[in-house]
Structures are given as C-alpha cells and as structure tokens.
Structure 1
Amino acid sequence: MKYKNLFTPVKIGSVTLKNRFALAPMGPLGLADAEGGFNQRGIDYYTERAKGGTGLIITGVTFSDCEVETQSMPNCPNSTYNPVHFIRTSKEMTERVHAYGSKIFLMMSAGFGRVTIPTNLGEFPPVAPSAIPHRWLDKICRPLTREEIHSIVKSFGDGAYHAKRGGFDGVEIHAVHEGYLLDQFAISMFNQRTDEYGGSLENRLRFAREVVEEIKSRCGQDFPVVLRFSLKSMIKDWREGALPGEIFEEKGRDIEEGLETAKLLVQYGYDALDTDVGTYDAWWWNHPPMYQKKGLFRPYCKMVKEAVDVPVLCAGRMDNPEMASEAVEAGECDIVSLGRPLLADPDYVNKLRAGKWEQIRPCISCQEGCMGRVQEFSMINCAVNPQAARERVTAYEPILKSRRVMVVGGGAAGCEAARVLAVRGHKPELFE
C-alpha cells in the first residue's frame, strides 16, 4: 500500500485502533431524540463511517449536565437525562460500529459558557468562570458557583459510566479547547476567580483535572479519556481574533503556557490530546474554511507531541493522504482526524486503502451543510453528499432492470442524478 503507515495499529490507553484515522468530533444536530438517546439517523450516520473503514469514531458533542446549562437538551444525546434509554440506543449503535472493527468514543462537554450560540441559549444570563462579556451578545455572564462546578464534575462521572455500559470504548472531553467552558476556566483572560478554581495555572486547570479523576474513579483507570485541546488561543482582544500570519500579542493561552498545560493534563490522567489552536474569538482557526491551508495544525501538534508521551490527534483539513502520511511519519501526530471529509465521503478510508484515491468525494470546506446548519439549529448535512445523516432514507435500493435514462441539464443536480443512476446500475445519458 502507498500509505501503509496510515493503516498500522495505534493505542489510546488500553484500546487498540486498527488504523490511524478517526472521525473528528463535530456537533451534528438531528441525530438524537427527545429523551436524549441516539435516533435511527444517528445510529446509521456513525455506523456508515465505521463501515467505511474509520478506525475510531468520535461522536459529536453530548452533555451529561442537565441542570446548569439547560439548553443541552433535547438537541443532542445526553447520557444522564434518561440513562436506560441512552444505554439502549447506544448499545445498538456501538454493537454495529464494533461489527466493522472500529472503536467508538463518546464526546462529553462541560458546556459552552460565554460562547453559547444565541439560537441555543437556555436560561439567561449564560454562565462562565467569572462575570465576563458574552462572545455574541452585549451581556455579562454569570459566574459559576462551586456547587455548580461540583455538580458538573459528578455528571461527567455518571455520564461516562452510562457510556461504558452503552458499549463505548472511551470518552473524549470537550474541552480545554476553542474557548468552551472548561477552556474558559483554563485561560486567565476569562478566569478572574479568587477561589481554588482561579489564579495559578494549576488552579485554572482544577476543573479539567477533577473531570478526568471523577471519570477514572467511576469507570476504572484503564478506561480511555481523551481531551480536546487547543495549544494557543489566537486572541488579540475580546471578540478579536488573529489572522494567519499576523503578528500580535496573545491575550489568551500562548504556546509556552500551552505546552505546560499539555504536560499537566497528561499528568492528571488524560490518555490522548486531540490538538488544534484557536477560540470562538478567532473561530476560523478551529473550523478552517477553504481559504485556510490544509494541515494548518501540524506544527502545533508537533510541539505537543514532543512535550507529552501520549498519542496526539491532528485534524484541520488533513484529507490529503500524502500530507497525512508525512505528518505521521514525521512524528507530528499519531492519529489523523477527519471531520468534514468523512461527511463528504464516509468510505474515504476504505477507498484509500484500496488505492482508489481518485474516487473519494472531496470536502470543499464550504461550511454550508455542517457548521452553517448547526448555526441555524438545523439537521447536519453536506453540500457535496446529500446522503450525509440521511443514510437510511436515501439508500440506493437494488434495481430489477437496468434502463437507459435521459438526464437533461448538466448542472449540479443533473450530474448528481446521472451519477446515482450509474451507481445503481442504470445507463444514464447526460444532455446539456
């Protein structure tokens, strides 16, 4: 195989992955039901990416807390809202994923805090470590109480325990990354507390430390816990992010503190770091649009990889296999995460392994069907793959008789109609 190093096993804690590819965690809507379980669309969506050869499936963000940030239900799965129902629906999904030789981790979030999208806002004001400005609204957030922090930590233990019962192989914590709630506690610009959760770096990381310790105490030390981690914040000021190549003074977490943070997080018990850079104040870093170069996180992942002794995952437009292979070979990362590319083509990994690179449907980084629809509180989809998150209702049924079909019009719809007809066994003729 041309990219043999991408198809070698790798371990995260006690779990062995069959290859170096992971479905990057995204925030897909429409894949849960009102009781906090996975609906049929969600089960089919994740199973299809396991069927396509991906070694590790990481679900979109889910919540364990139901009290502090009330907007967490029912827009996504929730491992504590109705545990029996969550476990039942999870079991159906994890068994199907495991049937294809893939592993699956549940992504669990401490919450959004000051970056809660206004269309997803529950009780007002939103919470944060301190009384700081909201990212989108001209409002001041409410500081979390100690009791609320302890409640969220306990919910992580409960949720991870239910995830393990539901067949998940591990969890990924969301996150000391992108300026979400745990990250707000970790960054001194956002965390102005004077209690044990503020001040020194160790105090600012106390929330994240208590989360992993709680999960390990409930699920066992050998239960893998990954952390989504941003090495550098790219913040110039409140609501002002730095552009690529721009010289600026970092107001958030700089690289020096980021590397020290990474070492502490591993010391606390995290089994891998899923690494990038950026925050909601510099949103174009964490969700790179088409004008950001491919593999933009590689140099940052390499710094983290050299600082810690656990696997490092690298996402960020890593869909060029030559580049992905080079990144693994050069020790920049251990696992390549594909988010939007696996929305565009769930069979990416199998096609690559079979040497059919030219048959992979490329992601165009347009943000329309994925992040664009999440922002509008709509079900996730993909601009280049109409079957994304609709795998069952748009499945290609077997044909009884092949027919010649005239397709009039060579636009996007006409070409897609002709392609589907050909895939199903018909003989389309396209007329412009």
Structure 2
Amino acid sequence: MNDKISSPVDYGGIQLKNRIIFAPTTMGLKKDEYLKKLQKIACGGCAMIIIGDVPVGRGGFGQNLFTGKGQEYYRTLTETIHQGDCLACAQLHQSDSNFRSMIKYIPGVLSKKISMEQLRPLLNKEVGPYISEMPEKKIQKIITSFGKAAVQAQTLGFDMVQIHGDRMCGSFSSTVFNHRADKYGGTIQNRARFAVEAVREVRKNLPDIPIDYKLVIRQKNPDYGNAGVLPEELEEFVPMLEEAGVTSFHVTLANHSDLSDTIPPASHPVFGGEGCFLGYCDMVKKYTKLPICGVGGLTSPDFIEQQLSSGRIDCAAMSRQLIADPDWPQKVIENHPEKIRRCIRCNKKCLGGMMEHTGVHCIYEKGMLK
C-alpha cells in the first residue's frame, strides 16, 4: 500500500490532497493542446500543477500577467486545473538572457549554421556579463516586478507562487556568472541578495500567500550546473530565504549546462538512477524544517513511498512520468500500479520535442510503445 503518497500534507501553508506535484515544465504547445494536457494531468489525481516560466515582467516572449490576453490565458489555465480538483502554482520567472546579445546569433540560426544545441552554450556565455554589468536601478525594477506579478497571479486564480531560483535568481547567486563588486556580488550574502529581496517583495505584497522556492544546487567534482549555490553555501543561503518569507523548497540540480543533465535520461553517467537529485534534498534538510519537494527521474511508487515515509522528502514532483501517464497518482492511490505506463526516461519526444521546438510529447502518444 502507498499510504504516504495518498496522504494529505500542509505544504508550507497550503493543503495538498496528496504528495504528488507536477513539476514546472515549459511545454511549447499551442493553447488548446496545452489545456488538454493540463486537464489530463489535473484529473489524473496529482495535488498541484506548477505552471513553469510565468514572466514577472510585461515584455519578452509569450504571455504575461499584465495584458488582457495574458490574463485570459492564465485564468483559463487555473480554471482548467481547478476543475480537476487540483491546485495551481505560478512559477514566477525572470529571464537572465541578454536579448540584445541574442541578435548577433539570429543570422546563424536562420541559416542553420548554428543549431539549437549549439545556441544554448553561446547564450549561457552571455549570462555572466549581463548579470555582472546590470545597473542597480534595473535590478530594483525587476525585484519590484516580482511582487506585482505575484499579486496578479493570485488574482488570476493561482493558489501558490514559486520563485524560479534557476534563472536570474540563480545566476545572481552563482560565482560562475556573478562577478559584481557591489552589494549584489562577492560574498554569498551579497549574491543571495537578489533572490532574498525578490521573495521579500512577494511577501510584502501578499503577506499570507505560500511561497515555494526552486532551490538549485551547483555541483563540483564532477561539475554540473552553473547557476545556483554550492552545497557549502546552503548553510547561509537557506536561512536567508526562510527569513525572507519562503514557506517550502523545491530542490534540484542547477541548470545552465546541458539540458540532458537537468532532464537526465536513464543512460546519464551520474543522474541515471531513480530519484537522482534527492541527495540535494538531504543537503537542504540540514538547514531547514520547512517542507521539501524532491524531483529527479521519479517513476516507481514503491521507491517514492519509501522516500516520503522516511521523511527524506515531503512531496514528490514529476514531469516526464505524468506526461507519460497522467493517471499515475490515481492508479497508485487505487492500488493498481501494474497499470502504470512507466516513463523510461528516453528523452526522445519530451526533451527531444523541446529542442526541436515541436512541443513536449511522449513516445506513448505516438504509439511507439504499448
């Protein structure tokens, strides 16, 4: 029996009906198709869906929280999720891409001299100068936008917000990208300041809303990830975020390297196993009593039940598994694990679709596996 998976939990001030969360995922799908996927996942029994990359600003690509069209879009998303007896969380996101620097790569991309795989490391190289040279006036404007975006998100039906710690927050936190000499650079206290002030801004505007933080960890020897913080910096970083108003942590590996590291296939040399990022949860748990959500190749009900029962994690987040089988939670809760379509972590149509800009899909959808 999987009693822990099916049990309710107070996740940082929000009551979840069970312990399964759909991890933030940029699907790259048209609205109607995206809504159908969200509806299936919500009705499949998970407790909460985190909508990834909800921009805190008014510009950039895609929908935002401040235009009529964007507000209609996000309101439709939350209504669709709620109809499935599921909660909705907005992952508040500020890109760390230098869009001006991107212009020089456009001819190469259009002529196909630069592939999308080649473009990613080129853009990552631009992050350091962008973060290090950003005027403080612009920093303050972005920080203020987190609070305004949180208010809009709540108005549009989101039950919780998550601060995306793997974009601008993570880049400010990292010595790889942050070479500033002012109050936003240097020591871990200074490098954490951007993330801490973003959280405080949300808390100031919404005193009661639960605030999740996507806490990303950079690993050395072997090196993985470039944004985020090192394990030895967690002792100072975690309490600062907690004091600022964070109510729970979503813990994973830092990004800004190969996507196959943060979305690892089963063949990955380091992260090929079940629960591949849960070791980072162990590190964070030393410094907080707040709820922790783990993620990383989670597919097995028995394994997840064990991690929850031991207290290693409080919730389990999945993306690829719930795309492969949206009914995973219901099948587990009803004690029919043999009916699960198990994600085999091949990355063919999910990460592959993301890289090819055809949208996130699954091999099961295409009839490639039965």
Q: What aligned pairs does 1:173-252 form with structure 2 within 5 A after superposition?
A: 173-175=163-165, 177=166, 180-218=167-205, 220-231=206-217, 233-235=218-220, 241=223
Q: Say which is worse superposed, 144-153 or 100-109, in terms of deviation.
A: 144-153
- Counterpart of 1:334 in structure 2: which amino acid? D
2:334 is aligned to: 354
Q: Name the structure 1 match of 2:281.
A: 301
Paired with 1:121 and 1:53, the residues of 2 have a C-alpha distance of 43
Which structure 1 segments of 5+ residues have no match? Answer: 32-38, 126-133, 244-249, 387-411, 417-432
Structure 1 partner of 2:112: none
Hey, what does 1:273 align to over in structure 2? 249
Partner of 2:324: 344
Residue 7 of structure 1: aligned partner: 6
State the percentage of identical aligned residues. 26
Q: Tell me if the contact between 2:234 and 2:287 (Cα under 8 Å) persists in the aligned partners.
A: no
Given that 1:14 and 1:224 are in contact with CA atoms closer than 8 Å, whether structure 2 keeps it comes out as: yes
Q: CA deviation at 1:41?
A: 2.5
Taking the aligned partners of 1:253 and 1:164, their CA distance within structure 2 comes to 29
Tell me which residue corresponds to 1:137.
122
- CA distance in 2: counterparts of 1:144 and 1:378, whole angstroms: 34
More helix by share: 2
Q: TM-score, normalised by structure 1?
A: 0.74
**Who is 1:54 aligned against?**
46
RMSD of the alignment, in Å? 2.8
- Return the alpha-carbon distance in structure 2 between the equivalents of residues 208 and 102 of structure 1: 28
Cα shift at 1:60: 2.3
Cα distance in structure 1, aligned partners of 2:153 and 2:177: 31
Structure 2 residue 292 is matched with structure 1 residue 315: no
Aligned length: 349
Contact 2:28 2:354 in 1 (8 A): yes
How far off is 1:137 after superposition?
1.8
**Displacement after TM superposition at 1:242 (Å):** 5.0
Shift of 1:53: 0.2
Cα gap change, 1:289/1:202 in structure 2, threshold over 3 Å: closer, same or farther?
same
Please report the TM-score for the alignment, with normalisation by the length of structure 2: 0.86
Tell whether 2:276 aligns with 1:289: no
Correspondence list, 1:110-149, <5 A: 110-113=94-97, 122-123=102-103, 136-137=121-122, 140=126, 141-142=129-130, 143-149=133-139
Structure 2: gaps of 5 or more residues: 106-118
Q: 1:169 maps to what in 2?
A: 159
Higher relative contact order (CA 8 A, sep 6+): 2
Indicate if the aligned counterparts of 1:43 and 1:93 stay in contact, CA closer than 8 A.
yes
1:226 maps to a residue whose letter is D
Deviation at 1:124, TM superposition (A): 5.7
Shift of 1:186: 0.5
Tell me if the contact between 1:340 and 1:370 (Cα under 8 Å) persists in the aligned partners.
Answer: yes
Greater Cα radius of gyration, structure 1 or 2:
1
Q: Flag the 1:157–1:123 CA change in 2: closer, same or farther, 3 A.
A: farther
SS at match of 2:322: helix
SS in 1 for 2:28: coil
Secondary structure of the structure 2 residue equivalent to 1:358: helix
Whether 2:238 is the aligned partner of 1:262: answer yes
Residue aligned with 1:44, SS: helix
For 2:219, give the aligned amino acid. Answer: M
C-alpha contact (below 8 Å) 2:13/2:247 kept by paired residues: no
Match of 2:212, SS state, is strand
Provide the C-alpha distance between the structure 2 equivalents of 1:376 and 1:158, rounded to a whole number of angstroms.
34
Cα distance in structure 2, aligned partners of 1:212 and 1:295: 28
